[in-house]
Amino acid sequence: MNNREKVWIFDTTLRDGEQALKASLNLQQKLQLAHAIARLNVDVMEVGFPVSSPGDFDAVHAIATNVKGPIICGLARTIDQDIIACGEALKAAELRRIHTFIATSPIHLQHKLRINLETAISMAHNAIKLASRYTNDIEFSCEDAARTPIDDLCRIVEAAIHAGATTINIPDTVGYAVPAELNSIIQQLQHKVPNIDKARLSVHCHNDLGLAVANSVAAVEAGARQVECTVNGIGERAGNCALEEIAMILSTRLNQPTKVGTALYSDINATEIHRTSRLVSQVCHMPIQPNKAIVGANAFSHSSGIHQDGMLKAQNTYEILSPQQIGIPSNELHLTSRSGRRVIQHRLTELGYREGDYDIEGLYKRFITLADQKGTVYDYDLEAMIYVNQLQASCNEPDLQPYSLTFLTTTTISHQLASATVSLSKGDYTTTEAATGNGPVEAAYQAISRITQQTINLIEYSLTAKGQGEQALGQVDIIVEYQQQRFHGTGLATDIVAASVDAYIHILNLIQRAQQISAFKNNPLTPIDTKRAS
């Protein structure tokens, strides 16, 4: 088809998505996600807000240096120090974009910024001029655009393009718009802004009313040619437009000319969707609802007898997409303790992993232990092990003496306190303590805190079954606060008390590492940053 038009996919998982997480991601996790998102072949990836914290600056800088392919973008308010931090952090990127924003709605101008529209226009103008010293790819966003009077919006958009903005983004920051409204805003901008042909129009929809994807579709039908989105739709509050949904809508429904517009396409490599979605869910500790479109566990499972019968006769009776299109492997291979490293590597390649994604020796050790316990190791076990291995590996640097578990026993008698005895080793020392608690996990945690003499504040504890039935592995994720910093620990085992202890030990090692880095920088632990964009 000749006259198809491309819709750019702007991924903001590592900015809008990351800022909504309960515990920030560390540099290694951000890099891991950035590489995975680049493999999706997004056009632009927004990877942080450099001025907000030294950690964000370092992450944007590291991604700009190491991740090739997409345009790497950083966020900045229309303030000199933001633009400078953003420009500096992005310097190493082959392709870079500065994304600057200011609120334009009366609610935000009067109550939040306490300035008038004229001042906002002049701040936008100055910021764009300053950004153009670093790059000629500049995006300007009118925060809360969907609640901004159209004439005000047209004025600031015209001024931004005049100053040098090459992309104009129209956010529905609070997820308030309905599709017809957003469609009309995009149409009016195209009719009323004289220099609009010098910029690409973009939308950024939040999901407060569950309309983020529908609103983005309405905007592209009206002429927007960039959609901002996140993997699994993570983001502020109810989240953002889901990348996998907009990508599959473009390739399944908007790929033909319609009554309302030309045929559209995106460059997304859909076969990476499944794997990236699982990775983002794991790393961000954000479970995916089973009935979630495209990537939910039930998205391709058929329960009703009539449906199953239809599927056996012709797949398109009840499936508009095939699981293979989004990269779900068609066959499951059951691995046992007799399977060697080669077989595991082969299976991981089929699942879309590259050799650099995992450490085969560490993984194989875990694999054998698990295969001895469970008999059969499934794909989901392998993926969970890769994730936990990677996460915990960051604590095993040579100069750190990590804690490790040498002994654990718990006793529970119904309606009575549980007791636990735990031995932890660190370097040449092993310490053993016993304690009681309301359940075996609490008892084990009490024993550990006696050993370490550290008081940590448990903010969240969650247990997820990885796999099905009695064979499932328990993955425990805990978030704790220690000296004003939040840490996320993960443990995986067939026994949930052991998984809980594993997660606690992971946290102890993360705290040690943070203390070491902090001592190295001759600084106290950096408090979690509170300065966040919307």
Contacts with ligand KIV, 2-21, as mask; x by CB under 6 A? --------------x-----
Does residue number 108 form part of the binding site for ligand KIV (CB under 6 A)?
no
Q: Which of 13, 14, 16, 73 binds Zn ion (CB under 5 A)?
A: 16
44, with CB counted inside 10 A (0-12, 13-18, 19+), is buried
Which CA distances in Å does 26 have to 3, 276, 308, 461? 43, 18, 44, 20
Token duo for residue 171: 């956010």
* Type of residue at 391: L
Nearer Cβ to ligand KIV (204/285):
204
Q: Which residues contact 304 (CB under 8 A, 6 or more apart)?
A: none
Does residue number 32 form part of the binding site for ligand KIV (CB under 6 A)?
no
Nearer Cβ to Zn ion (19/419):
19
C-alpha to C-alpha distance for 275 and 352, rounded to whole angstroms: 7
Q: Which of 10, 101, 367, 403 binds ligand KIV (CB under 6 A)?
A: 101
Nearest distance from C-beta of residue 16 to ligand KIV, angstroms: 5
C-alpha to C-alpha distance for 195 and 421, rounded to whole angstroms: 72
- Residue 351 has a CB neighbour count (10 Å cut-off) of 18
Binding to ligand KIV (CB under 6 A): which residues in 122-151? 141, 143
* Helical pair 379-393 and 27-39, crossing angle rounded to 10 deg: 140
Does residue number 82 form part of the binding site for ligand KIV (CB under 6 A)?
no
Nearest distance from C-beta of residue 204 to Zn ion, angstroms: 6
Nearer Cβ to Zn ion (212/447):
212
141 binds, among ligand KIV, Zn ion, none (CB under 5 to 8 A by kind): ligand KIV
Does residue number 77 form part of the binding site for ligand KIV (CB under 6 A)?
no
C-alpha to C-alpha distance for 179 and 185, rounded to whole angstroms: 10
* Type of residue at 154: C
Token duo for residue 285: 């500790």
With beta carbons less than 8 A apart as the criterion, state whether 452 and 437 touch: no
Nearer Cβ to ligand KIV (101/487):
101
With beta carbons less than 8 A apart as the criterion, state whether 192 and 229 touch: no
C-alpha to C-alpha distance for 248 and 268, rounded to whole angstroms: 9
Does residue number 52 form part of the binding site for ligand KIV (CB under 6 A)?
no
Nearer Cβ to Zn ion (212/344):
212
Q: State the number of binding residues for ligand KIV (CB under 6 A).
A: 11
Does residue number 272 form part of the binding site for Zn ion (CB under 5 A)?
no
Q: Which residues contact 289 (CB under 8 A, 6 or more apart)?
A: 296
Does residue number 533 form part of the binding site for ligand KIV (CB under 6 A)?
yes
143 binds, among Zn ion, ligand KIV, none (CB under 5 to 8 A by kind): ligand KIV
Nearest distance from C-beta of residue 424 to ligand KIV, angstroms: 43
Phi and psi angles of residue 492, each rounded to the nearest 5 degrees, phi first: -140, 125
Binding to ligand KIV (CB under 6 A): which residues in 152-181? 169, 171, 173
Question: Could you list the residues that contact Zn ion (CB under 5 A)?
Answer: 16
Question: Could you list the residues that contact ligand KIV (CB under 6 A)?
Answer: 16, 101, 141, 143, 169, 171, 173, 204, 206, 533-534
